């Protein structure tokens, strides 16, 4: 597997979770990618979910989108 692609998907998934994507939706996407043999994507999502869910109450990361004029 391509480690760089796994890391890229890990970071994208972690960002998505931090801005409010429900973990259940991420799990569903992970499973769909695994079934379609997109294993690097599924692995990145899995690692992000593990980190996010293991720190669910103490996850010190949130992203607040800001629109600058």
**30-53 per-position pLDDT tens digit:** 999 999 999 999 999 999 999 888
Own/partner contacts of 1-7, CB < 8 Å, gap of 24 or more, are 1/39, 1/40, 1/43, 2/40, 5/40, 5/41, 5/44, 6/40, 6/43, 6/44, 6/47, 7/44
Rounded CA-CA distance 65/2 in Å is 30
What predicted TM-score, i.e. pTM, was given to this entire model?
0.79
Read off the pLDDT of each residue in 2-10 and give the average, rounded to a whole number: 92
Whether the per-residue pLDDT at 65 is higher than 80: the answer is no
Top pLDDT among 4 and 61 is at 4
Chain mean pLDDT for the chain: 86
Looking at per-residue pLDDT, the higher value among 58 and 30 belongs to: 30
Q: What is the pLDDT of residue 51?
A: 87
């Amino acid at each position: 597997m391509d480690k760089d692609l796994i890391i890229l998907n890990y970071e994208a998934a972690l960002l998505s979770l931090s801005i409010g994507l429900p973990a259940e939706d991420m799990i569903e996407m992970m499973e769909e990618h695994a079934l379609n043999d997109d294993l690097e994507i599924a692995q990145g999502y899995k690692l992000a979910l593990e980190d996010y869910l293991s720190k669910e109450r103490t996850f010190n990361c949130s992203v607040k989108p800001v629109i600058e004029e």
